[in-house]
Chains A and B, each alone.
Chain A
Amino acid sequence: DGGITQSPKYLFRKEGQNVTLSCEQNLNHDAMYWYRQDPGQGLRLIYYSQIVNDFQKGDIAEGYSVSREKKESFPLTVTSAQKNPTAFYLCASSPGQGGRQPQHFGDGTRLSIL
């Protein structure tokens, strides 16, 4: 079945540590996105990528980094510069640029601080 796979489902970060969240899609979509979700909040865009080897900052990119070396993969690194990383992280994809078409989501990674 086609879809988006995020791993791990749960992740713990120590102080000063960088951690990387994985996102893989087999939908052959060009565009991919990372969102952060906090309790009682809507999704906030961290980074997006419209095509391989290109990505752009979203609304809350500080403390995060991404890469897009392959069409199917868009990993997110939460760096030690992100002082409040505890959240639910969601990866999404869409066939093209995502403003006027549905984005398809993975089942998220929950990141917590040790």
Chain B
Amino acid sequence: GESVGLHLPTLSVQEGDNSIINCAYSNSASDYFIWYKQESGKGPQFIIDIRSNMDKRQGQRVTVLLNKTVKHLSLQIAATQPGDSAVYFCAENMDKGYSTLTFGKGTMLLVSP
């Protein structure tokens, strides 16, 4: 089937490297952010989230950094593995008369053994 990764920015790393995936968000009023991982032909899978009263949050092998001054979000993956190869999306909450998540276009991460 057609890949969701067509025409996406791509980050290529070697197994064992640390990966950093960046995301610029649009709304300075957004107060909640989330990262998802999407493998080909599957639905997005929650990785980690962060609220705007924090600038860093850590999970298992992943860290999310939030810089509200420049409206920038990053996802760091430590010791990247081939199984981490996927498309990664950031999302922010946005009030458009209703409160929901607005998703970025994604970055494809390719991990070589």
Which A positions have Cβ atoms within 8 angstroms of B? 4, 6, 10, 33, 35, 37, 39-45, 48, 56, 58-59, 88, 90, 92, 97-108, 110
Contact A102 B46 (CB under 8 A): yes
Contact B104 A100 (CB under 8 A): no
Number of inter-chain CB pairs below 8 Å: 79
Q: Which residue of A lies closest to B90 (CB)?
A: A42
Sorted nearest first, the 7 A-B pairs with minimum C-beta distance are A99-B99, A105-B43, A40-B7, A42-B103, A99-B93, A39-B6, A100-B32
In angstroms, Cα B32 to Cα A58, docked, is 19
Interface flags, B78-113, vs A, CB<8A=1, else 0: 000000000001000111101111111110000000
Contact A105 B105 (CB under 8 A): no
Q: A41: which B residues are within 8 A, CB to CB? A: 105
Extra pairs beyond A39-B7, A40-B105, A103-B46 (17, CB < 8 Å): A33-B100, A40-B5, A40-B8, A43-B44, A44-B103, A56-B98, A58-B100, A59-B96, A92-B43, A99-B93, A99-B99, A99-B100, A102-B34, A106-B43, A107-B43, A108-B43, A110-B41
